[in-house]
Amino acid sequence: MDPGTERDFHDLLLMLKETRGFDFTGYKQTTLMRRINRRLETLKLNDYGEYRDHLELEPEEFGRLFDSLLINVTGFFRDPAAWQVLRETALTSLLESKGAGNPIRIWSAGCATGEEAYSLAMIMAEELGMEEFRHRVKIYATDLDEKALQIARTAVYGERQLADVPADLRERYFEPAGGGMAFRRDLRRQLIFGRNDLTRDAPISRVDLLLARNTLMYFNAETQLSVVRRLHFALGNPGYLFLGKAEMLLNHSERFEPVDLRTRLFRKIAPAPVGARQSWTFDAAQAEPARQASQIQIAALNWGPVAQIALDLSGNLALANALAEALFNIRPRDLGRPFQDLEVSYRPVELRSVIQQVEQDKRAAEVREVTWQRHGVAQPDIYDISVVPLQEPGGEHVGVAITFHDVTRYRKLRDDLEHANQELERAYEELQSLNEEMETTNEELQSTNEELETTNEELQSTNEELETMNEELQCSNDELQQINDTLNSRSLELNRASLFIASVVRSLGDAVAVIDGELRVLMWSPGAEELWGLRTEEVTGRHLPALDIGLPVEAITPALRRMFDGGSSSHAEDTGKLIVDAVNRRGRPVKLDIELSVLHGEDSSIQGLILVMTLL
């Protein structure tokens, strides 16, 4: 993509964010461009700049664009084998762990038009029974598309949408409503539908089961990481995550473990117990308000904007917030390990001596402008590190807190002294590389492993892209199916009308013909074909006097002209009768009673004459 086109594309996304509140910057660029290009082709526009101008002039186009970007492909019990595994493993284990009478919270993220949420409701009602389902289960279903959510709230579906619902479930859980079937109103109260942007809005908390099927695959890698963290935070313990077949969670093994990888069913890996992380700050015997305050403090610390870790009096790792875990590759299993055994104790800077000095002096210390060149990052990061002694309200020393402040953006302007320091740093890195040569074999293996992981991620990305395109094709197929159903309905109506008209014509007489003001044949009934031996396609559009038939047209033409002239001036001569001698197609003489009627248009003007010919 050339720079100008890329700039216009990002300007278009910025316009959608500022004017309509839809932020698509975290979505895969290739998918967005493919969907937007379809709108450009439909509207016969050349580039994104023209499309942006079109959106400003035609605000209703926003709705059509969002319908295209927010691919609402879903269905009842989509991938039945995966739903069977969910029911037999996750739900069985979940109900056992919750115990009788305890509430069950379920979240369907990216629910589209609601089929997935109602599938969950039917399964839970089957497992618990109707009455217990009403008292215990609450299902939250969210999506970004308000139009799809409105359909989900209405809960009325057509026969084609309900085709995948087993007949016994359809009979128990749906009732006739208008032109389709509606989910039972008494059970619908347990489902709450609302708008939620997974990339920005707060997740629903304390969820026992979370469905996000074929939702992650639309986001880029960075946004996927953020969303997975939110989903991990939303789940309780134990908590189960049910994904689509194109989503693997390969890079999140510290947060989720597979229950059934083939069906993409995962279980949340619980963090270290609250007491283990917080023993240096909170007393487990505190009252309930204090415990609630503790949970708020833990959440605030865990999702804080700076990386923080804490050590107990023994020098063991007691706590690390989410940013520190991601930054220094700290895993839940590292809690309780001696700090000196962790890489963060000496990289990006030697901290053991600083911590020892802080514990002796009981005073805070800072290490400023620590440069850290992380693997895969083009520019080095710069940190100010604070080491602070921790004390209880009574003054007792309980540990040490270490905070890493990212000050990179404040250190962009370098003077000559900083340049000299960079030279020294490079010299230090060269000396360090001599030592690292001893670990060449291990690094080569690590490099090979990283290459394999990179290849796997590329394959995963390709798989997600293919699944996205498959859903787009399915969406287009649904649209074509609806058009086809409409055409079939119109064809049936046209056939019924044609049969009705033919029946009326047959009832008028032995033969019927309709002519216009110039005596051209407009209609020729089957009786006329039988009487005169000419097919409809042979006479339609030809002048009646020019037809080679046994009807004495010259004898009746004056009467035809009088009917036209009389009908144009008044309605006194709208009908007339003639009896003539003719010869049928077999050459036999016949006597005909010809009844003439004027054919009027909607404005009462004469459109033609109807000749009803009856054999006497």
Please check whether the two domains, 80-268 and 505-615, share a CATH topology.
Answer: no
313 has a pLDDT exceeding 70: yes
pLDDT, mean of residues 320-347: 85
pLDDT, mean of residues 398-420: 79
389 has a pLDDT exceeding 70: yes
The residues spanned by each domain of the chain are 3-69, 80-268, 274-433, 505-615
Joined tokens for residue 544? 């009646």
Burial degree of 292 (CB within 10 A; 0-12, 13-18, 19+):
exposed
Lowest pLDDT segment from 27-36, 300-309, 471-480: 300-309
Q: DSSP for 273-302?
A: PHHHHHTTT--TT--HHHHHHHHHHHHHHH
540 has a pLDDT exceeding 70: yes
Beta bridge partners of 267: 240, 257
Q: State which H helix or E strand residue 258 sits in.
A: strand 256-260
Residue of higher predicted confidence among 72 and 355: 355
* CA–CA gap between residue 536 and residue 475 (Å, rounded): 45
pLDDT, tens digit, for every residue of 67-120?
Answer: 777 777 788 998 899 999 999 999 989 988 888 888 999 999 989 899 999 999
pLDDT confidence of residue 141: 94
* CA–CA gap between residue 516 and residue 172 (Å, rounded): 61
- pLDDT band at residue 22 using 50, 70 and 90 as cut-offs: confident
571 has a pLDDT exceeding 50: no
pLDDT, tens digit, for every residue of 243-278?
Answer: 988 777 766 778 888 888 888 899 998 765 444 444
pLDDT, mean of residues 27-45: 86
Cβ-based neighbour number of residue 51 at 10 Å: 21
CATH architecture for the domain at 274-433: 2-Layer Sandwich (3.30)
pLDDT confidence of residue 277: 42
pLDDT confidence of residue 27: 83
Lateral strand order in the sheet of 606-615:
521-524, 511-515, 606-615, 589-600, 575-583
pLDDT confidence of residue 418: 64
Joined tokens for residue 376? 């895969």
| DSSP summary character for residue 339 | G
Cα angle value 430/434/439 (rounded, 5°): 130
CATH architecture for the domain at 505-615: 2-Layer Sandwich (3.30)
Q: Give me the CATH topology for the region 80-268.
A: Rossmann fold (3.40.50)
Lowest pLDDT segment from 12-26, 199-213, 280-294, 336-350: 280-294
Residue of higher predicted confidence among 593 and 453: 593
Which of 145, 270, 140, 125 has its CA nearest to residue 210? Answer: 140
432 has a pLDDT exceeding 70: no
pLDDT confidence of residue 262: 87
Residue of higher predicted confidence among 459 and 402: 402
pLDDT, mean of residues 362-385: 84
- pLDDT band at residue 172 using 50, 70 and 90 as cut-offs: very high
Cβ-based neighbour number of residue 42 at 10 Å: 10
pLDDT confidence of residue 250: 67
pLDDT confidence of residue 289: 54
CA 218 to chain centre: 8
CA 297 to chain centre: 35
pLDDT confidence of residue 271: 67
With beta carbons less than 8 A apart as the criterion, state whether 578 and 560 touch. no
Cβ-based neighbour number of residue 402 at 10 Å: 23
* CA–CA gap between residue 613 and residue 616 (Å, rounded): 10
Whole-model pTM: value is 0.52
Residue of higher predicted confidence among 512 and 395: 512
Phi, psi of 413 (to 5 degrees): -90, 115
pLDDT, mean of residues 12-40: 84
pLDDT, mean of residues 58-75: 81
Cβ-based neighbour number of residue 343 at 10 Å: 11
Terminal C-alpha separation, the chain: 83
Lateral strand order in the sheet of 256-260:
191-195, 137-143, 104-109, 207-212, 235-243, 265-268, 256-260
With beta carbons less than 8 A apart as the criterion, state whether 598 and 567 touch. yes
284 has a pLDDT exceeding 60: no
pLDDT, mean of residues 218-227: 85
Amino acid identity of residue 37, one-letter, is N
Q: Give me the CATH topology for the region 3-69.
A: Chemotaxis Receptor Methyltransferase Cher; domain 1 (1.10.155)
Collapsing DSSP to helix, strand or coil, 187 comes out as: helix
Averaged confidence pLDDT in the chain: 83
